[in-house]
Amino acid sequence: MADKKLWGGRFKEGTDKATDDFNSSISFDCRLYKQDIFGSIAHAEMLGAQGIIPVEEAVLITKTLSEILGDIEAGKVEFEVDAEDIHMNIEKILTARIGDPGKRLHTGRSRNDQVALDLRMYIIDENKSISKMLLDLETIIVKLSKKHQTTILPGYTHLQRAQPITFSHHLMAYFQMFRRDIERLEDSLSRTHFMPLGSGALAGTTYPLDRLSVAGKLGFPHITQNSLDAVSDRDFAIEFTFCLSMVMMHLSRFSEELILWSSMEFGFIEIDDAYSTGSSIMPQKKNPDVAELVRGKSGRVFGDLITLLTVMKGLPLAYNKDMQEDKSAVFDAIDTLKMCLPVFTKMLATMKVKKNAMLLAAKGGFTNATDVADYLVKKQIPFRDAHEIIGKMVLYCIKKDKAIDDLSMKEFKQFSKLIGKDIYNEISLKTCVEGRCLPGGPARSSVKAQITVAEAFLKCH
């Protein structure tokens, strides 16, 4: 029957059951129960303080809402599809418990500004939770970096060996990525911290609501400035999901390297058994499934971002039912990332680093070729000429199946009479790495400075 709906007064007939199922969002927005109740308590207290409803009724409402919260968390409440969403479910439970006073809770409020509030509060909570997980990952990266400041491996461009660096330097590149992710999340809070209650369905209300007091009770430093925008805006959700997409992109890149490094072709690391799986047919296999799943799940979070952008791209002001789809995408992005981060962090913390394999790889592939060119430049040969000379030297080494370090002085002299015995020290891998001591470089002194800054960042967070 229509009168069972809290909005049923205008309708002669009840909705079809299929419509109820299609229209209902309680199956997924039930997770907003805590934010919805906190928002309702703050709203009820304000209504009482403003004399919009009797103070004793406001007290009864807030007391009962707190009891409902406890019952939900104790698993004593079963939500109803017929009540559509978390907002109407809680209001229906409240009214069933205290009668007419419960019907006063919605005074001066719409589900439009209510859901905007709940989603903002939920995202603020999850933002902080995810930032904490990222800080845990960053802590592991710094710990590994401190341990591997002298572990040399080849740096790559185009997936070809390029120049020697340290494993510490490589890891600290990811520290910078995840630091930016943390800073992006923190910055996005400045645009999420706007309290929308009081905007009503789209045009506010004639009741003398104290929006600032509600904002203060809920920990919002600001209130929204336009009622139309307040109920129809999901920029904060899109921006948050974009931040999560960036985190997943960085996790995916890191996973890709762990997958490559753990292969026989690289052999730089071994992923712990706890984060690997085997083959149902090939007994020798040890597969990096955790890293592969993280890499794969990045596409899922990207899809959630595209969902939000697509839902919002053609909507006129103000609220439209399309916006019910926002929560599924946000929730899925959060759940996916929060599933990936802890297991990735543990996988990274427990992996075995094969220093010798890394060093051997750095010795091959002519990673010190640039340093030989720089050696000639220091002998006053123009860089472009030096570049050509060393290119020919590398070609010679390939034909002879030699590393540059293995060339005799006689062979070196074939390419330039300016090359002396000091060339051997100048192009040693250690010298190549330690010579790059500019801020941000791979030399131990530079990486140590990076780690110091990183530890200060972690400490202040």
Question: Could you count the other beta carbons within 10 Å of the beta carbon of residue 281?
Answer: 6
Measured CA to CA in angstroms, residue 183 lies from 122, 138, 376, 450 at distances of: 19, 13, 43, 17
Task: Write the single-letter amino acid at 405.
Answer: D
Measured CA to CA in angstroms, residue 112 lies from 31, 146, 399, 459 at distances of: 17, 51, 73, 40
C-alpha–C-alpha distance, residues 394 and 392, integer Å: 5
Kindly name the residue from 158, 170, 416, 446 that is annotated as catalytic.
158
Of the candidates 96, 67, 72, the one whose C-alpha atom is nearest the C-alpha of residue 86 is 72
Is the CB of residue 197 less than 8 Å from the CB of residue 139? no
Of the candidates 10, 4, 24, 13, the one whose C-alpha atom is nearest the C-alpha of residue 87 is 24
Alpha carbon of residue 114 to chain centroid: 26
Provide the 3-class DSSP secondary structure of residue 223.
strand
Of the candidates 229, 209, 206, 226, the one whose C-alpha atom is nearest the C-alpha of residue 217 is 209
In the chain, what is the straight-line distance between the N-terminal and C-terminal CA atoms, in Å? 54
Of the candidates 251, 253, 216, 220, the one whose C-alpha atom is nearest the C-alpha of residue 236 is 220
- Catalytic residue list contains 279: yes
Kindly name the residue from 245, 279, 328, 428 that is annotated as catalytic.
279
- Catalytic residue list contains 298: no
Is the CB of residue 410 less than 8 Å from the CB of residue 400? no
Catalytic residues: 158, 279
